[in-house]
Structure formats: C-alpha cells, structure tokens
Structure 1
Amino acid sequence: MAHDSATRSASRWEEQRSFDQLGRPLRDLTFCVVDLETTGGSAAGGSRITEVGAVKVRGGEVLGEFQTLVNPHTEIPAFIAVLTGITNSMVSDAPPIESVLPAFLEFAEGCVLVAHNAPFDVGFLRHFAEQQGRPWPTFEVVDTAVLARRVITRDDAPNCKLSSLARVFNASTTPNHRALSDARATVDVLHGLMERLGGLGVHTLEELQTFSAKVSAAQRRKRHLAEKLPHSPGVYLFRDDAARVLYIGTSRDLRTRVRSYFTASETRTRMGEMVGLASEVTGIECATPLEAEVRELRLIAEHKPRYNRRSRFPEKVHFIKLTREPWPRLSLVRRVADDEADYLGPFSSKKVAEKCLSALHDTFPVRQCSDRLARRPSKAACVLAEMGRCLSPCDGSVDDTTYAAVVRQLRDSLLRRPDEVVDAINERMASLAADERFEEAGVHRDRLAAFIRATARTQRLSALTRCPEVIAARREDDGRWAVHVVRHGRLAAAGVIPSGTDAHAFVDALRLGAESVRPAPGPVPAATAEETERILRWLESPGIRLVDVDGEWTCPITGSTRHLALHDAVTQSRLSLVPFDERRSLAPTHRPAR
C-alpha cells in the first residue's frame, strides 16, 4: 500500500511539473496596465511624475481603474505642459508621490505590470520607490511596444507608437497623453496583440515573454559565410549573386556579428529576407572601432544598399542661409557656397529645416521675400508687413541702420547665443498653454526644438571643422592606445600603437601618412555631418587625450547646447517607441486642443 501511495504521489508531481512547464495561461492572469505623465524624460535627472493612470484586467474583463494627478512640487516647464496638457494649477492640490505610490502598489499587487515602453513608466515608479525606501515588488513586466515590433508589419501601421496601434486595433479610447486614457488604449492594444499571438500558438505568459520571429532553416544554412571573417573590428558587406551590395554593417568583432545573422539572435524580418538573397560576405578590417564606423558611413553613401535604411543619401540635405546683400534675408538652400554668408545646418529633413526657419521668422521680422532689393527700394509692402511680421524695407518703412541691427541679433542667435529665440518662443508657448491652446503651442514647441537642435549641432560641427588638424588618443580595453588624426572634421588616419613601440614616433608616422584634406566652404565639415558627429562623440568620450590641436577647438559657452536637455528629455525617454526594429528619432506629437 505504501508503494502504491508513493507511486500516485510521484505521478501527481509529474503531472504538476508538466503543467508548470506549459506556463501560466494568459486568460488566467491579472494584468495591471499603467501609464505615467511626467515633467521630463529622466527620473534620475530630476523629472517628476504628474499623473498616474492604471487599469486592472483579467480574461478581457476590466476589474478596476486607478487615476490621480500628482503634485510634483516643482514647476512644470511650458514645453512639457504643451506635451502633457497638465499645468501647474491642475496639480497644485494633488497628492504627492509619497502618497500615490503606496496606493498604486496596493492596486497592482499580484498583477503582471503592462506598459507601452515599460522601461520608462516602470523606471519612474522604481526610482521613487527606492527614493522612499520602499521595497519594489517582484512584478513581471510586459512591454506592448516590444510585442508590437515583433507582430505588427508595415502593412498594418507605419510605426509602433501607441496612437498608431490604437488605430490598428480599433481601441475604444484614443490616446491623448493623459495617463488613464493612454492606459485604457494600451489595454485594447494588449488584447489585440494577444489575439494575434494566439493565432501563432502563444497562450502563456512564458511564451509571450520569449516570443520572437523564427529564423528559417535556409537562413541558418548560410552561417558558413561568416567563417572566413576575423575576430577584429571592421565593416562587413553582404552581396548577392551579382556582387551587388545588399547591406553594410560594422562591428568590433566581424565574425561574431556576421554569424548572428544566421542564428536565432537575429530576428528582424527584413534581415532574414536580405540573408536569403546573400551569397557572399566581405569583411574589411579596421584599426579601430571608430575607423570602422566611418568606413561604414562612407561605403553606405557609395553603394546605397537597399537593406540599409540610414545614411544612404548624405547629399540630400538642406541649409538655412543668412544672405549677404543690402537687405539680408533667410533662405532655404541645398548646398553651401563660398560666399561668406552664414549658414545653419545641414538638415536631413526639409520639414525640420522649415520649422527652424519659422522659429527665426517668428522672432526676427526680417523680410521673407526672395527678390533682390536695391539699397533704396521703392515697392509696395506685402501682407507680412501689414501683419507686423516684417520690417518692410521694400517700401522704406525701416532704415538700413535699424534693419542691420536686427540682422546682427539674428546672426548672433545663429552662431553664438540663442536666448532671444528661446525666450520669445517660450513666452509664447507659456501663454498658449495657460489658455489650454495646446495645439498652437505645440507648433511653436516643435519650431523651437528644431532651432535648438540645429544651432547646437552647427556650433559643435563648425568648431571641429575650423581646426586644420586634431590628433587624439585613448587607451582601449586591451590596454593599447588608439590614435586618430582628424582634419577639418574628417577622419584622416587611424591606428593602434603596438606594444613596445615609441608612441611619439608612431604618432608622427601616422600623421605623415594621413589623408590630405581640403576645408569645405563655410561651417560644413570636409566629411558628412554624420561622420563628423561620430568623431565628436569619440573625442568627447571618457579617457580621451588630446595629442595636438592645430587651431582653436571651442564652442560658445552661451551656445545652444545648454538648452538641449529639456528639449530632448521626452524624446529620449521614448526612443524605444520606434518603427519596428529601427531606432529612429521621433518627432514630438501634437496634443489636440481640449
């Protein structure tokens, strides 16, 4: 009898173990879908929570909702108020996060947390739990943004932002950047994703968390293409049967990276398609990872591979030009001329360039007509003059001294100090936000952000471009020193000092063998802007030692870079909310007027 009892007990244990291995059915789990509104993109950087919204669901049924504004005990910047629609007056009587967080944790107890871009929302909640000395529960987390990128195709939606997914799944609530509305929309998105995944055999939480596109057997069979590549930094080129370049990439370890295209670690659909066409992989060894990055950019621009989405057309750019003529004006142009005019750019998007141009025209009433005016013009005033948006030199309404003073202020904003534009547009945004005219304020917010980013970028690029030569070194992880020679913003040489070699002799030899580089006109580097930005990131990284600088490598202390943090905060916090597998910068979305 004892033996029979033990047998039955073992059998029950095996049945239970098998059931556990199957995972927890999604229909039996309680999910707490949460969304936050905040004053910025980084809790560690001082941003605060202004609203919490959550919906508890199980088996498709709503069990409860949680919503409250939160007093951040700090001013909400006008720029952020435009994005969220939450103003200082709305949160003045709201409870603090010290009261809200324990109430939310009690509401979410025992649930699986769900959020769209979970690192943002969960990161804020964990930050303030830690700040309060409160233990963080062992929540399991589901990120609907990650799931969507694995399920949604471009035929379904242009991207995987919450607003786009809400339309795909006919959500009953339209996301509007208010916490509860966005949480309700995320519930519908979660259910829509679960329905699609159910058709692919995903029925448990474990299957949901590990689901990825399957790598085909044909894709795996091509892993031999990586075997001849070295374990060193460099650039790799996938080619088809006709030797056409399909895709170009870079890695610190060529063989390991290329092999990943033939294994389960590479699940991007378009990469599977590319590998299916590939018949050869060519590797180009580089002395340093930075050299590999630069070579990659140059090769992509040369070959324009169909499966590379970025950097294929560096020549398709725009600039804003402050002309040199009796009555200067701002003009959108495609290239920089050697004409001593002032330029802002380059812009890879004409739309962004136009936003920046509007920010400048909003602040400085210089003429917007394209005619060349004589020193003493005698034309009729245009509509802009009648609206007070142009000083109207064409009809003699302004003298050349007054007009020149405005142009000097404009030029100073472009090259050195953007405060006049920042203050003017911030004041306009604050006024519109106070009147809850968020859509209008959003237009000015986008213009200001475009201006700040453009001027900061131009100031940084032109600072390095002005230097005929910069030589810098950094000790790499293997203990050796990587050295780069940069001329007028272009990488001219790269090398690693061999062990036991005289460093000064090596640097002298590297300099002598470096590419000769002629300066480009105006502020434009002698390379693409993307290449010079990669070089700048390396030069500004920890551990850099400047060996020699020919010229002055300086940026204005009062320049635009100091304004970037606020304007980039929300965008940075949502970088993972991108179309599918590509990390692209997202344009801020407009909030409809309430």
Structure 2
Amino acid sequence: MTSVHPAQGTFDDLGTPLSEVTFVVVDLETTGGSPTGSAITEIGAVKVRGGERLGEFATLVDPGREIPPFISVLTGITQQMVVQAPRIETVLPSFLEFARGCVLVAHNAPFDTGFLRAACTACGYAWPAFPVVDTVDLARRVLTRDEVPDCKLGTLARFFGAGTEPCHRALADAAATVDVLHGLIERLGSFGVHSLEELRGFARTPTPEQRRKRHLADAIPNAPGVYLFEDERGEVLYVGKSRDLRTRVRSYFTASETRWRVREMVGIAERVRPIVCATALEAEVRELRLIAEHKPRYNRRSRHPERALWLKLTVEPFPRLSIVRECRDDGADYLGPFSATRTAEEARAALHEAVPLRQCTQPLTLRKISAGRARVCALAEIGRCGAPCVGRESAQEYARHVERARAVMSGDVLPVVTAARVRIDRLALELRYEEAAAQRDRLAAFLRGAARSQRLTALSGCAEFVAARPAADGGWELAVVRYGRLAATGTIPSGAHPRPYVDALVAAAETVFPGPGPAGSATAEEMECVLRWLDPPGARLVEVDGTWSCPAGGAERWRTWIDRAYADHVPGERGRHALR
C-alpha cells in the first residue's frame, strides 16, 4: 500500500499567479464622452501574458455619425478616415472573440467598458463576464502625489518609462497602458499582491488611511442633512449633503471612494460634523450657504457665488449696458446671472443688435456734450451708433432706446429674437455659416440669461409663499420662502391636519428683507434649488403674498426653441440649421 505524504501548499496554490494571467489591454476612441449620445471610432487592444505580447487588435470604426471637429483635432481621426471602416456590429464579434477568457484592462475602465457594454446591447450581444482591472484605480492606490501629480495616462507612461507615448490613438494608448500595467504590477509585489485574486481584492480594499479614519463616521445619524469634514484646527475642508448622512459619510472610508482629492482630504480630516435637516431641500440650501461661507479647499463648485456676472442697464443721462459682479440698490435694471464673462458679452451683443444703445464706456452728461468734451467712438463714425456724444441724438430720442431695452430685459424678448433671426437668415443665405452660428450663440446666451433672470425675479418678487410637496412617508414637506430666500422647512406627518404645522413654521421662519436685482436676498443657486423642489408633480402652493408669474412674452417661451436649434445642429455644418 502506497503511503501518501502530506505536502505544504505554495502561495501560488491560493490563486492564479499574475505571470499566468492573460490580459487584454483595450483603449477606445469615440465621438464624445457618453455612450448614450456618442459612438466608437477606433478600438485598439494588446494581449499580454507574463510580460510577453501575444497579439494585437486594431481597427477604425464607422460611428454612423459626424465626428465633431474638436474630436478630430484631439485624435487625428477624421470623417474621411472612417468612411470605409466597418460598423461596430461587424467589429464587435471579432473583438469579443479576441478578448474571450481574458482579464480586461483599461485606463479609466468605466469609460471603455461603458461604450463596449452599450455596443453589445445595441447589437444584441450579452456582455461577457470579463474580470476588469482599472489602471487609474491601481495607480491611485499604489503611487503617491510626491511621485506623480496626477494619474493621467501620459503622466504614468512617462513615470514608468513606457516605450510608447500616448497620442489619443487607440492602439498606441493601449500599448502605453501595457507598460503602465507592468509597472504597477511590479509595485504591487511590495504589497504582497502576486495573484489575480489578490489583485482584484487589492482594488476593492480601502487605503490604510481610509481604514484608520473609519471611526469618524461612528456618531453620524441616519438622517438627511449636511456634513462637514474638518481638520485638527477646525478648518472646514469639505461640505456635502445627503438624504442619509451616516451611509454617505461611511462611503468615504471604503474602497468605492477612489478620487485622489477626496482621499487626500480624508487623510487630513480629524472630525466630521453633521447638521441634521428637516428636509432634503434644507440640506441642499444649507450646503450651498456653508460652501459660500467657508470656501472649503476640497469643494470645487459653488465656492464663489459672488463671482456671478450681471448685465446692468446703468442709471445715468445716457444709460449703457455694463457687465458687473454686484446688483446694487441704485434703481438700475439687471439681467442674469451669467457664469462666464464671454456668455455675458454674447448676451450684451445680442441686445445691442436689437436696441441701439451706446457701447462706449465714457461718462456722458449733457454738460459734457454741450462743451464738446465727449469723445467720438468708431461706431459713431461708421453709423452704428446714434452718437449722442456729439449731439446727433437728443436725450429724449435716446430715452426711447433705453425704455425699449428695459422692456426687453424685464419682459418681451421678441425684438432681440427677431433681430437675431433676420441676421442669421441673411448670413445663412450668403453661406456664411460660421458667422450665423456665432449669432445663434449670442441669441442663446441672451435667452438663457433672460429666462433665468425672469424666473428669479418672479420668485424674489413674492414677499412670502408657503409650498408643500408629498414626502416619501406619505406626509408632506413644507417650505417657507421669503423674497426668494428659504426661510424655513418642516414636515407634516401622514394624516395630520396641515394648518397647525403651517402656522408654526411661518411663525418660526427667518425674517428676510428684499434686496436689489433678480436675486437680491439669496444666491441664484439657492433660488434655483427652490424652483427645482417645486417642479415635480404634486407640489402645492399653500399661501402666496405677492404675484408669482413670468411675463407672457418672456424668454422662457423660447428656451425649448433654442435648445432644439442646438439639438438639430449637425457638426461640420455650423449655422445651416442654426434656427428653424
């Protein structure tokens, strides 16, 4: 009888050694950033095992649509290059066969796998159960900020001395990713990662810093509200909101949080301070106010509401349109806000096309004009301005332009739309499509800014209104808004009589005074939070002190029309379908 001697297993028995794993490193080029509205233009893939290249897969793909010019500039892939290329339904089976049984690797894998999954769905194929490795995620876990400033493919390729330089072409980028993968696998050896199973487990493991800070979430309640990450000195590092504070804060200390900025913030944070709110609306508004107040270094949006731009019709003998950062209580008319100077300038140009206000910036008074001390601008010399600076246009004649501009800004935008359409049609007939598109952009900037301004003006014009919206538990959420500012929120339990709750909330609400401009007592972002809260079906107005309405001929009625003009726009034919 043969005796069996027990033998000690090796570490390799615990999983598939990485040297025996076949990886298919893939990269895609596309017409845009979303699988729902864009398509694949090129697939490149490299198959490797044990450091040896086993094969390559590369093909252009006809996306079935125009390639945007900026994509062609970025990738070098033009419309002419893909005219004779196969469609994705022809390419996809070959790629799936090439990758069958392998581990899929990509740099920012959710992007590439998202497009491939969408292609499988469109072509009627089931998505294979590929194990997926993301080199971006691995790099964030293995490398420090002292080693690389970011985890872009070009940065990592230079750091690891890749033999191929990324150039936004699929096969070249896939080849560079192969070298990055091998460099990361070498680093992973020091973490005890030697098998595929250990590699996938490592990718799902929180960093040591995240594990060490898990206790910060222990005292956080399961309630809607706002949370503030603070350092040891009490400085606010980050402000966020959630319907479930405890669940959201705990997610910062798990492997699902891979953003390097957030991980850096977690490493600095020493406490998390929760602020429980009665409703999700209160949490959203409190978040905006706290970000504006503390300007946390790890928040990217909403930090500087004071930087919003406004189009102002000045108050002077000969008013003009000026771009300003503050609405003052000076009797002027304001339009906006705009998020960028260029957008504000485009809106101003659209209004100037319809109303011949002066465009010079010099202070202009009747005494200065009569003394002949006013400067004549180039527009006056070429007949594009009424030239009140030299007396060609009287104060009374100029006042009619001002009243027309005031009427457009506050209500009827048809003069601006008509002037723009006449100009666009003329340019399109002359085949000057780029200039027609520029006119369309000016009109769009004006209409969107005017629509926003008129919505905010309507809201801030009400001294008070009380609104209710159905809550998830069968009760109601309440909000008291005064001059556009959220003054109080609360809830009504299911089945309870609403009147006592409404009266108590109104009595306890913050006192608010009206301010200048469309958003005088609150930021535009806060007011838009309130408007979004009122949008869903089922919302009710309980009490209104004031008139809440937008002008019948206002910009809101044209928003769908201008959005459709952009949706109908075909890349490569700017202006041809600018406005229909």
TM-score, normalized by length of structure 1? 0.70
Summarize the Cα distance change of 1:412–1:493 in structure 2 as closer, same or farther, 3 Å threshold: closer
Cα deviations by residue, 1:30-88 (Å, 9 ceiling, x for unpaired): 223121312x54444xx24250221214126473241213141x455678777776665
Match of 1:56 in 2: 46
Summarize the Cα distance change of 1:111–1:199 in structure 2 as closer, same or farther, 3 Å threshold: same
Q: Could you tell me whether the CA contact under 8 Å between 1:452 and 1:563 is conserved in 2?
A: no
User: Which stretch of the first structure deviates more once superposed, 190-199 or 471-480?
Assistant: 190-199
Structure-1 separation of matches of 2:263 and 2:424: 47
Q: Could you tell me whether the CA contact under 8 Å between 2:21 and 2:103 is conserved in 1?
A: no
Q: Could you tell me whether the CA contact under 8 Å between 1:416 and 1:559 is conserved in 2?
A: no
Structure-2 separation of matches of 1:448 and 1:205: 56
Query: Deviation of residue 288 (structure 1)?
Result: 1.5
Q: Equivalent of 1:138, from 129, 141, 151?
A: 129
Q: Could you tell me whether the CA contact under 8 Å between 2:28 and 2:44 is conserved in 1?
A: yes
Matches within 5 A, 1:481-520: 481-520=476-515
Match of 1:96 in 2: 87
Q: Could you tell me whether the CA contact under 8 Å between 1:149 and 1:160 is conserved in 2?
A: yes
Query: Gaps (5+ residues) in structure 1?
Result: 435-439, 570-594
Matches within 5 A, 1:107-506: 107-151=98-142, 160-162=151-153, 179-180=170-171, 182-184=173-175, 186-187=177-178, 189-191=180-182, 193-194=184-185, 196-198=187-189, 200-209=191-200, 210-211=202-203, 212=205, 214-216=207-209, 219-220=212-213, 223=215, 228-237=219-228, 245=236, 247-258=238-249, 268-275=262-269, 277-278=270-271, 282-305=273-296, 310-323=301-314, 329-338=320-329, 339-347=331-339, 352-354=340-342, 356-357=344-345, 361=349, 369-373=360-364, 379-382=375-378, 393=387, 404=401, 458=453, 461-462=456-457, 464-506=459-501
Match of 1:556 in 2: 556
Query: Deviation of residue 494 (structure 1)?
Result: 0.9
Matches within 5 A, 1:514-529: 514-524=509-519, 526-529=521-524
Structure-1 separation of matches of 2:345 and 2:164: 36
> Is 1:35 the equivalent of 2:28?
yes
Structure-1 separation of matches of 2:177 and 2:442: 30
Structure-2 separation of matches of 1:146 and 1:389: 61
SS at match of 2:266: helix
Summarize the Cα distance change of 1:324–1:504 in structure 2 as closer, same or farther, 3 Å threshold: same
SS at match of 2:472: coil
Q: Could you tell me whether the CA contact under 8 Å between 2:104 and 2:133 is conserved in 1?
A: yes
Task: Report the residue type matching 2:268 in the other structure.
Answer: M
TM-score, normalized by length of structure 2? 0.72
Query: Deviation of residue 345 (structure 1)?
Result: 1.8
Query: Deviation of residue 495 (structure 1)?
Result: 0.9
SS at match of 1:273: helix
Structure-2 separation of matches of 1:511 and 1:86: 61
Task: Report the residue type matching 2:548 in the other structure.
Answer: E
Structure-2 separation of matches of 1:24 and 1:218: 27
Match of 2:577 in 1: none
Summarize the Cα distance change of 1:346–1:159 in structure 2 as closer, same or farther, 3 Å threshold: farther
Flag the structure with more relative contact order, 1 or 2, with Cα contacts below 8 A and sequence separation at least 6.
1
User: Which stretch of the first structure deviates more once superposed, 525-534 or 557-566?
Assistant: 557-566
Task: Report the residue type matching 1:31 in the other structure.
Answer: V
SS at match of 1:558: helix
Task: Report the residue type matching 2:267 in the other structure.
Answer: E
Identity %: 47
SS at match of 2:29: strand
Rg comparison, structure with higher value: 2
Query: Gaps (5+ residues) in structure 2?
Result: 570-580
Task: Report the residue type matching 1:485 in the other structure.
Answer: V
SS at match of 1:559: helix
Structure-2 separation of matches of 1:20 and 1:389: 87
Structure-1 separation of matches of 2:198 and 2:168: 30
Structure-2 separation of matches of 1:392 and 1:155: 61
Structure-1 separation of matches of 2:307 and 2:238: 20
Aligned length: 538
